[in-house]
Structure 1
Amino acid sequence: MTAGRACVVHGAGDLRVEERDPAGPGPGEVEIAVAYGGICGSDLHYYHRGAVGDFTVREPMVLGHEVAGHVAALGAGVPGPATGVPVAIHPATPCDECRECREGRRNVCARSRYLGSAAHFPHVEGGFTRRLVVPAAQVRVLPPGLALDRAVLAEPLSVAVHAVRRAGDVQGKRVLVTGAGPIGCLVVAVLRHAGAVEVVVSDLLPEPLKVAELVGATSTVRAGRPDDPAWPADVDVAIEASGAPAGLATCVARVRRGGTVVLLGLLPPGETGFPGNVVVTREIVLKGAFRFDTEFDDALSLLAGGLPVDPVVTHRFPLAEALTAFGTAGDRTVASKVLLDFTTP
Structure 2
Amino acid sequence: MTLACRIHGARDLRLEPDEVAPLAPHEVELRLGAAGICGSDLHYFLHGRVGAFVIREPLIPGHEASGVVLRTGSAVRSVVPGMKVAINPSHPCGGCDYCRAGRDNLCRNMRFLGSASVYPHVQGMFRERFVMGERQLTPVPEDEVSLGEIACAEPLSIGLHGVNRAGPLMGKTVLVTGGGTIGCMTVLAARLAGAARVIVADIADRPLDMARMVGADEAVRGDQAAPAELADLADVSIEAAGSPAALATCLAATRRGGRIVQVGTLPAEGIAFPANNIMARELDYVGAFRAGVEFDWAVSYLRSRKVDVRPLMSAQLPLSRAVEAFELAADRSRSTKVQLVVEA
TM-score class, shorter-chain normalisation, is: over 0.9
Q: Which of these residues, 52, 61, 65, is aligned with residue 54 of structure 1? A: 52
CA pair 230-308 structure 1, distance change in 2 beyond 3 A: farther
Q: Which amino acid aligns with 2:98?
A: E
What secondary structure, in the 3-state scheme, does the structure 2 residue paired with 1:44 have? Answer: helix
Q: Flag the 1:302–1:40 CA change in 2: closer, same or farther, 3 A.
A: same
Instruction: Name the SS of the counterpart of 2:230 in structure 1.
Output: coil
Task: Kindly state the Cα deviation for residue 193 of structure 1 after the two structures are TM-superposed.
Answer: 2.0
Cα separation, 2, equivalents of 1:156 and 1:121: 24
Give the match for residue 101 of structure 1. Answer: 99
Aligned-residue offset at 1:232: 6.2
* CA positional deviation for 1:92: 0.8
* Residue 7 (structure 1) shift: 1.1
**Aligned-pair Cα RMSD in Å:** 1.4
> What is the distance in 2 between the residues matched to 1:137 and 1:196?
33
Where in structure 2 are the equivalents of 1:320-335 lying within 5 Å?
Answer: 320-335=320-335
| 2:62 equivalent to 1:64 | yes
**What do the CA deviations read for 1:291-322 (whole angstroms, capped 9, x no partner)?**
11111110011112221322111111111111
* Counterpart AA for 1:242: A
Structure 1 equivalent of residue 251 of structure 2: 252
State the percentage of identical aligned residues: 44
Correspondence list, 1:1-345, <5 A: 4-145=2-143, 146-227=145-226, 231=230, 233-306=232-305, 307-342=307-342, 344-345=343-344
Residue by residue over 1:113-147, the C-alpha shift from the partner in whole angstroms, topping out at 9 and shown as x without a partner, is 01111111111110111111111111111153432
Change (3 A) 1:317 1:229: farther
Give the letter aligned to residue 302 of structure 1.
Answer: Y
Q: Structure 2 length normalisation: TM-score? A: 0.96
State the Cα distance separating 1:285 from its structure 2 match: 0.6
Q: Indicate conservation of the 8 Å contact 1:27/1:76, yes or no.
A: yes
Gaps of 5+ in 1: none
Q: 1:334 & 1:65 partners in 2: Cα distance?
A: 22
Equivalent position amino acid for 1:248 in 2: L
Distance 1:234 1:38 in 2: 33
With structure 1 as the length reference, what TM-score do the two structures score?
0.96
Contact 1:93/1:138 (<8 A) preserved = yes
Q: Classify the secondary structure of the residue corresponding to 1:187.
A: helix
Question: What whole-Å deviation, never above 9, does each CA across 1:58-90 have from its counterpart, x for those lacking one?
Answer: 111211011101111112322231111110100
Aligned residues: 342
Shift of 1:242: 0.7
CA distance in 1, matches of 2:160, 2:244: 23
Contact 2:230–2:252 (CA<8 Å) still a contact in 1?
A: no
